[in-house]
Amino acid sequence: MSINQNESIAVSSKNSHERKIAISHIMSKYGILFVLIGMVILMTFLSDSFLVKQNLINIVRQISFIGIIAMGVTMIIITTGIDLSSGSVIALVSVVVASVAHPGEYPLIVPILTGLCIGAFAGFVNGFITAKGKIPAFIATLGMMTAARGLALLYSGGRPIANFTESFLFLGKGTVLGIPFPIVIFILLGIISHLLLSKTKFGKYTYAIGGNEQAAKIAGVNVDRYRIMIYAYAGLLTAIAGIMLTARIGSGQPSLGVMYELDAIAAAVIGGTSLNGGIGTIPGTIIGALIIGVLNNGLDLLGVSSYYQQILKGGIIVTAVLLDSRKNKRS
């Protein structure tokens, strides 16, 4: 074999290897988006009612609440934490906000600020216990999950609270230029959270804590302070979702938000956030939430039982975690 032939084979092998690397990089970065597009195409063929404007708006509106919660959960998971209290905090925010949103009592700003303060404080407590008490996030937020649900039941007497002002109902049922208000807030918070995580010191330190906490401490990062701030921000986002959800259903419910924390975690994990910490993006989480929304909506249109939907959703979550685990091992 001539030298030229050997060189040609070597160049061809190198080019093939580079193509594989490029394809692997593209799939790693945009694979979850391809999955979403594939699901949309599949559902379009399976149901004539899927690719309809009103149905698509309903999908985004339905997942906007979960998506908002999932943005905060993403930041927590990036730091190797977890938050199991989101659903219960929504319930507590819901009943308290509902009690101060009656006509002729308080201006709109009062229920909004009340809900935001409750959510941020719950997140602060979670972060403080985790950071200062050195208690695993799983235990700390599990405690908050139980306590917040109990407080919601105690405050409301176990009964729903209704009779809201029109301005408050707008937060869940209103539209802006034909776009449902929850979707508008979802988009705005997505942009804010993305910029916060990708363009600020807050985001840089969030990734640093999740990547190597000891190295972050050595580099001068006040890990405890930023951990508390991350949990407080997640609580704030949960409160926003809780306020809009309360306005959407027209009553404050002590049973509201059941399983929302698991859907939020699922959206983050499906969207590429690693449970091992240090990896995750807000756009990925939004796509993960959309995948859940498309899946739920599509299966409903096809008449698939909700029981099977839960099984399928569980399988998708486990698969996402397994793929993340394999990717980390290869790295």
The residue length of the chain stands at 331
What are 102-126's pLDDT values in tens digits?
988 889 999 999 999 999 999 999 9
Question: Which domains does the chain show, CATH number per domain?
Answer: 31-326 (1.10.3470)
Closest by CA to 136, choosing from 295, 182, 144, is 144
* Residue 315 to residue 325: CA distance in whole angstroms: 15
* Residue 157 to residue 258: CA distance in whole angstroms: 18
- According to DSSP, the β-strands at 179-180 and 175-176 are antiparallel
Question: The whole model's pTM is what?
Answer: 0.90
What are 121-172's pLDDT values in tens digits?
999 999 999 999 989 999 999 999 999 999 999 999 989 998 899 999 999 9
Helices (H), the chain: 3-46, 53-78, 86-99, 109-131, 137-156, 166-173, 181-199, 201-211, 213-218, 223-249, 260-270, 282-301, 306-330
